[in-house]
Amino acid sequence: LVDWGLAVRLGDEPVRLPAARDVDAVVGTPRFMAPEMANGDGPNLGTATDVYLLGGILHLILLGRPPHEGSTVMEVIASCVEPVTLPDDVALRDLLASALSLWPEERPTAAAFRKALQAHLARRTAGGLLEKASTALESLKERATDGEAARAEVYDLYGACRFGFGEALAIDPDLALAASRSAFATRAMIEYELDAGDDRAAELLLTHLPAADPRLSERIEAVRTERLGRLERLEELEASEDPRTGLKSRMLLLTSLGTVWVASPGLTVALGFDQGFAREIGISVAVSLFTLVVLVVLRRSLAASRLNRTLLFIVVLAPNLAAVLNLGGWLWGFSSDITGTLEIFLNLVLAIMAAGLVEWRLFPAVGVFLLTFLAAMWMQGEHTILLLNIGNAALVLNGLVVWTPSVLRSLRASA
């Protein structure tokens, strides 16, 4: 590209080169010559001439041919003083046109020529990055909405978009398309996270947008409200299923009602009430009323736990079913011994419900109720009050053994 045999000096430097002003002949490569070279115009030779030659080389690179052509050498030299015609769609057309200007003063400096080339190469690099990132963006739009893509795959595509568009903007800050597509990719990811119910990730991505987006902010707030509500419901459900919830109230319910269950038959005997339907129905009604009082006092803590609610249902059911059983036996004409035996069986069924639905460790009491029922059947209804009390006492003691340690630990922890 450089032929030092044709080099000249521009000033009076003490170098062994001819002075440019002394050149009066046509010297150079005709297909690339500047007009002043073709005219042998030595005084006009200068750095602008070198820029013209650079433009000629660029012309060859971009268009595949030199700027001057002809069938003979003279035709080629003659074309050197004619304007170079450039296609409208050629890259760097403005730089080529100015570098190949017929007038030296219209040509850019070598530094400006270099700067223009570097800017073009940077834009081309940015364009390549933009193209690759745009391809990743198309894949992101597809994968973020199909519902089956792995989360890592979606974020890999988003990372490719962010990197590509970001690098393109770093090279060419005026590349508006890269900025808009980068924002589009971020919005797509925000929508992706919101569809997945992750308002926190969406809010973090929102900070990557160049400007506020009220619509996305409102949707993030809606998803957050839904998530917090769902979390609150889960916490309530967890507390409801936790056996520690309402444990003290459960113990109080068991001990108070257990005392009434065990003491009421003996108390009625001590007061001189004979065994019969009137006494049995009266006991059931009294226990039901006492249960109602306990329910009113402990309603909040008992309602906080599913276990407590289930136990309370069974406890309320027991005396009322006993009352219905005795009333039905009286109406049918049964003896109280028969209904007493059936009442033991009723308590056996309720104990099984308590052990199965509330606390499996109550099954020992189930065994006691089974034995008392079989004993009542064997004795043909004799001593049913005693046998019923044995079963009730076993259930109360079983509950105390199971739950007392937990209550004591809770008291020590809160002390």
Write out pLDDT tens, residues 217-276.
999 999 999 999 988 888 777 777 776 777 777 777 777 777 777 777 667 766 766 667
Predicted pLDDT at 217: 94
More confident residue, 389 or 185: 185
At residue 412, does pLDDT exceed 60?
A: yes
- Domain residue limits, the chain: 4-108, 118-239, 243-414
**For residues 117-123, average pLDDT:** 90
> How high is the mean pLDDT of the chain?
87
More confident residue, 281 or 218: 218
Vertex 160: Cα angle to 159 and 165 (nearest 5) = 100
Q: Which two tokens stand for residue 406?
A: 């937990």
Which 3 state secondary structure label does DSSP give 9?
strand
Q: Which two tokens stand for residue 148?
A: 């089956």
At residue 139, does pLDDT exceed 60?
A: yes
How far apart, in whole angstroms, are the C-alpha atoms of residue 205 and residue 189?
Answer: 7
| CB count in 10 Å sphere of residue 40 | 12
Predicted pLDDT at 101: 95
Which residues make beta-bridge pairs with 19? 9
Q: What is the pLDDT of residues 250-264, one digit of tens each?
A: 777 777 777 777 777
Predicted pLDDT at 388: 85
Q: How confident is the model at residue 5 (pLDDT cuts 50, 70, 90)?
A: low
How far apart, in whole angstroms, are the C-alpha atoms of residue 271 and residue 140?
Answer: 85
Indicate the Cα dihedral angle 296, 297, 300, 302, nearest 10°.
Answer: -90
Q: Is the Cβ–Cβ distance between 6 and 28 less than 8 Å?
A: yes
Predicted pLDDT at 4: 54
More confident residue, 4 or 234: 234
How far apart, in whole angstroms, are the C-alpha atoms of residue 343 and residue 319?
Answer: 10
Q: Is the Cβ–Cβ distance between 263 and 286 less than 8 Å?
A: no
Predicted pLDDT at 244: 72
Helix and strand tally (H, E) in the chain?
Answer: 16, 0
At residue 402, does pLDDT exceed 90?
A: no
Predicted pLDDT at 54: 94
Predicted pLDDT at 208: 92
Q: How confident is the model at residue 288 (pLDDT cuts 50, 70, 90)?
A: confident
* C-alpha distances in Å from residue 274, one per residue of 145, 180, 284, 288: 79, 93, 15, 21
Specify the residue for token string 């820029």.
51
**What proportion of the chain, given as a percentage, has pLDDT over 90?**
48
Predicted pLDDT at 276: 75
Q: What is the DSSP string of 71-134?
A: SSHHHHHHHTTSPPP--TT-TTHHHHHHHT-SSGGGSPPHHHHHHHHHHHHHHHHHHHHHHHHH
Q: What is the pLDDT of residues 172-216, one digit of tens each?
A: 888 899 999 999 999 999 999 999 999 999 999 999 999 989 999
How far apart, in whole angstroms, are the C-alpha atoms of residue 8 and residue 27?
Answer: 11
Predicted pLDDT at 1: 60
The highest-confidence range among 40-49, 100-109, 386-395, by mean pLDDT, is: 100-109
Fold designation for 4-108:
Transferase(Phosphotransferase); domain 1 (1.10.510)
Query: End-to-end CA distance of the chain, in Å?
Result: 94
163-167, 299-303, 311-315, 367-371: which range is least confident on average?
299-303
Predicted pLDDT at 42: 86
How far apart, in whole angstroms, are the C-alpha atoms of residue 75 and residue 68?
Answer: 9
At residue 379, does pLDDT exceed 80?
A: yes
Predicted pLDDT at 255: 78
Residues recorded for the chain: 415
Predicted pLDDT at 277: 81
More confident residue, 11 or 274: 11
Predicted pLDDT at 64: 94
